[in-house]
Amino acid sequence: MACFDVKLDTRFEKISTLHPCFGGKANMTRGRVHLPVSPACNIQCRFCKRTFNKSEQRPGVTGELLSPQAAAELVDKALELCPEITVAGIAGPGDTLATPHALKTFQYVHERHPELILCLSTNGLLLERYADALYEAGVRTVTVTVNAVDPAVLKDICSGIVLDGKKYEGEEAARILIAAQLRGIKKMSDLGAVIKINIVLIPGINHHHIGEIAETVKEHGASLINIIPLIPQHELSHLPAPNCHELMEARSAAELYLPVFRHCQHCRADACGIPGKQDLADLLYATRNIPETFSHG
């Protein structure tokens, strides 16, 4: 039985009717456009393989990189193609806060389309640092990928981070990243943003740790959890993907603390349209041939 409180139920009630990635109510009726403006990342996850191509359906992948100004102009075309779009989001292909491009894009889009919900996905390393500027630019929904809140677990998922020009590895990097994520989640939540947490479920590494993650992020202001099955690749290509039973167990563990989002489509960094129903990215970009694969978000 879920034990999350009424405050967290109602906090994102309106968002859940408008944002297809934050609530089942909007998942098949509302659209989003992802703007691929962020070229670099400041952490290295062992399962992450970012790339430019026109064939894979997963986060971290795009066909091209846009400038902030070009991305803002692309929103105009996206809205013409899909009037159901309520969200302009940035989810890569790198981390949204590792470079200034995402913040600048949000500023341009908010000026042109103040009616849109602005959303970003981030690893959270620099979220606290840019929280005020993001909120001022109109960002009201944030997804943070938190794969562990114990450095001993996270070191086996994230091999290192780069912060202010210095590289950290192992448990030291994990401690820095976890602390930064939790401070950033709290700061954005305190400002008024709705926070969703993505957790990549990795059998043998963090499968036993999902409840602790959910409890911890709830304490810092998160409102929603999304459990994402590992796709075995990069340094974790030797691990099996979680099966349906393992995924169900992880969702049940998380749901003791927060609602669990169950409609994730694991979208590309250049996605456009209504998730799972209408893909219009080929009308914004070059025509693509996309096989059915997925990864983290």
Cβ distance 155 to 171 under 8 Å?
yes
pLDDT at site 295:
38
Question: Band of the pLDDT at 281, cuts 50, 70, 90?
Answer: confident
Distance between CA atoms of residues 173 and 151, nearest Å: 8
- Please name the residue that has the structure tokens 């341009």: 108
Q: Which domains does the chain have, with CATH numbers?
A: 6-284 (3.20.20.70)
pLDDT at site 33:
85
59-68, 164-173, 183-192, 195-204: range with lowest mean pLDDT: 59-68
25-29, 61-65, 89-93, 131-135: range with lowest mean pLDDT: 25-29
Residue 227: strand, helix, or coil: strand
Residue 193: left (phi > 0), alpha (psi -120 to 50), or beta?
beta
Q: pLDDT tens-digit profile of 21-32?
A: 776 655 567 778
Residue 38: strand, helix, or coil: strand
pLDDT at site 20:
63
Q: What percent of the chain has pLDDT over 90?
A: 61
Distance between CA atoms of residues 89 and 26, nearest Å: 15
Question: Band of the pLDDT at 293, cuts 50, 70, 90?
Answer: very low
Nearest CA-CA partner of 262 in 295, 230, 222, 226? 226
Burial (0-12, 13-18, 19+ Cβ within 10 Å), 114: exposed
